[in-house]
Structure 1
Amino acid sequence: MAIDGIWSYAPEFGHPEADRLAGYTVEATDGTIGHVDRQADGSGMRHLVVDTGVWVFGKSVLVPVGVVDGIDTESGRITVACTREEVKSAPVFRTDRETSDPAYLSSVGTYYRNLPSRRPA
């Protein structure tokens, strides 16, 4: 399986360290999603595990780092180029085993890659 840009930070963000982002607030284009629980790099597919608190019934969601639109180290805030509903509708994240499951990660990548905001105009 080829690794593509959905699993890599944009060049302007460099390669943020996992512990540096833990606790950052995650903002979608239309509001807060939650906070970064951890960053993972399963099979070279770098992503954030975001704790949504009570917003999505206390569940976590997996967000590929390719949708990160900004990292503000001053305020501890990450912005993503998708809506809250798009994140909520992503493939369900149930257990940490999925962070190393290539089939699951592939389905997540396909979902985020095909969001309307990511398609070429």
Structure 2
Amino acid sequence: MTTESLWTYRAGVFGDESLSVIGFDVEATDGKIGSVDEESNVVGDSYVVVDTGFWIFGKKVVLPASTVTRIDPQERKVYVARTKDEIKDAPEFDDATYKASAYRDDLGGYYGRFPVI
């Protein structure tokens, strides 16, 4: 998977440009992991920041747009193609650096090694 495609929504997943997913629940392949705290819909640089709440002690995680498989506006849910453990083991979120290219490269290297589901 190329770096740009990692940070791009899959075809048909994000069709409504006016839709904000902030506040939507996030479902991994094996259950709920939290809710969307922040989003970016910039072409080639799209992602969601998920507040995991109690699941991993109030931490946040960044999920590249390519991990999102479906958005359900009626249920207010975002579905991702990663397990809870895969998300938990991702590079540590840091408020000060999560938008920096070095962190994004680390995150891209981590998520880029998984097969596209």
Same fold at TM > 0.5? yes
Partner of 2:108: 109
Structure 2 Cα separation of the partners of residues 15 and 99 of structure 1: 26
3-state DSSP class of the match of 2:12?
helix
3-state DSSP class of the match of 1:4?
helix
Structure 2 Cα separation of the partners of residues 43 and 10 of structure 1: 12
What is the TM-score when the length of structure 1 is the normalising length?
Answer: 0.84
Alignment check: 8 A CA contact 1:43 1:100 kept: no
Partner of 2:89: 89
What is the TM-score when the length of structure 2 is the normalising length?
Answer: 0.87
Alignment check: 8 A CA contact 2:50 2:62 kept: yes
Instruction: Looking at secondary structure, tell me which structure has more helix per residue.
Output: 1
Q: Which runs of 5+ in 2 are unaligned?
A: none
Q: Which runs of 5+ in 1 are unaligned?
A: none
3-state DSSP class of the match of 1:100?
coil
How far is the alpha carbon of 1:13 from its aligned partner?
2.2
How far is the alpha carbon of 1:12 from its aligned partner?
0.4
Aligned-residue Cα RMSD (Å) equals 2.3
Query: How many residue pairs get matched?
Result: 116
How far is the alpha carbon of 1:38 from its aligned partner?
0.8
